[in-house]
Amino acid sequence: HNEYFQLKDKDVWSLINETAAQTEKETGVKMVHLGQGFYSYSPPDFAIEEAKKALDIAMVNQYAPTRGRMSLIDALSKTYSHYYDHALEPSEIMVSTGANEGILSCFFGFLNPGDEVIVFEPFFDQYISNIEMAGGKVVYVQIHAPKDFNENIVSGKDWTIDPQELESAISSKTKMIVLNTPQNPLGKVFTREELTMIGNLAVKHNLLVVSDEVYENLYYVPDRVRIHTISPEIDERCLVVGSSGKTFAATGWRIGWVIGNKALINYVAAAHTRICFSSPGPMQEAVAGALLRAKDNGYYEKSRAAFVNKYKIFTSVFDYLGLPYTKAEGGYYLYVNFHKLQIPDNYVFPDLFLKSRDFQLAYWLIKEIGVVSIPPSEFYISEHKAEAKDCLRFAICKQDEVLQEAVKRLKKLK
Ligand code: GLN
């Protein structure tokens, strides 16, 4: 087999989902799933309607053009052109099979063996495998935790990067910087100052910026900046990635997109063509319709308001327990610090959960109260895993009732 894939290193998503399923089977207790970031509810009616209509168009059921169906390219142009100084042309847009494959195509389109890619830590784990599969080498730059996080509620902006650390991570082999804002798992929305600093370094050192903005519509601060809008010099090196799954509560539809300078998109599209040729036709048609309807039906504002309320419901239990968390500025995760919580000394853990205290916390919560979360040390390299040993990430893209049930169960930890 390809030595990259060591089966013993089960990915965190499968490990947690399988443990939860197994526990549910053994105990009969229905789990409250706040682990992997999938929605517990359906896409909005208008998106479902568009999806149902799509299947009736005979040709959508055949291969789509590799860069995407014209209807979706056109809807994306109508959705995003106002961020640019011109109407986006088809050559500046590529549809991908989920944002995931769009990001993979950015790596495969540009990385040669040995090229270095800067990734901020904690990171969404998929970037690492995708960069390494393309022969790239990841260079990590930390997003530093606020000093008082064991004691106090903090905010995304209190997690900071050191400009000097970033610049000294850049070498002659550096090809790109991967950015994720709103950030998974912290819920940090990078500020204009931070993005200007990152963008200007990319210009100075002639680097590409892959900006994963899949949570772009879910932000709870007044100013959510897209890095490419800061200057034309930054814009010409940015590949901005978006997601219908995150936008329309449809993570199974697997439709994402990459937008950027057409000379860059050519290479992303060349890789994409060889990875999957094209993306699901009916779902592209559905997303095209949904984007056009969402432009002026108030959907984005309504989703944001719904998520503000979800955070209110869910954070209340950590206020009650006196456990600090990072107030999310965007996205749909809550990053909670369980430093103060004791796990019983004699508790027995399976081997796969021995690696770090956060894995033990996650296991214990599944077994004892039926609440599923993700241990975030998986989003750190070995040397830094201790940073996350007391933390858990909860996904709150769930019905209010699911969050209320989680609150009820977590209250038992007092
Ligand atoms: N992006 C989602 C999350 O972080 C899903 C991750 C995945 O399934 N690999 O939970």
Q: Write out pLDDT tens, residues 18-75.
A: 999 999 999 999 999 999 999 999 999 999 999 999 999 999 999 999 999 999 999 9
Domains of the chain as residue ranges with CATH: 12-42+299-413 (3.90.1150.10), 45-294 (3.40.640.10)
Q: Is-contact 227 199, C-beta < 8 A?
A: yes
**Looking at the whole model, is its pTM more than 0.95?**
yes
Q: Whose CA is nearest to atom 5 of ligand 1?
A: 37
pLDDT of residue 8: 66
In tens, the pLDDT along 374-406 reads 999 999 999 999 999 999 999 999 999 999 999
Q: What is the mean pLDDT of residues 247-269?
A: 98
In tens, the pLDDT along 152-196 reads 999 999 999 999 999 999 999 999 999 999 999 999 999 999 999
Tell me the CA–centroid distance for residue 36 and ligand 1, in Å: 5
In tens, the pLDDT along 90-106 reads 999 999 999 999 999 99
Looking at this predicted complex, what is its ipTM?
A: 0.93
Q: What is the mean pLDDT of the chain?
A: 97
Which amino acid appears at position 145 of this protein? A
Ligand 1: residues with CB < 6 A are: 13, 36-37, 124, 126, 184, 395
In tens, the pLDDT along 191-222 reads 999 999 999 999 999 999 999 999 999 999 99
Ligand 1 atom with minimal separation from the 185 CA? 4
Q: Whose CA is nearest to atom 3 of ligand 1?
A: 37
List, in sequence order, every residue forming a beta bridge with 374; answer none if it has no partner.
393
If 0-12 CB within 10 Å is exposed, 13-18 middle and 19+ buried, where does residue 74 land?
Answer: middle
Tell me the CA–centroid distance for residue 183 and ligand 1, in Å: 12
DSSP percent split of the chain into helix, strand, coil, nearest 5 = 45, 15, 40
* Main-chain phi, psi angles of 47, to 5 degrees: -75, -40
Tell me the CA–centroid distance for residue 215 and ligand 1, in Å: 12
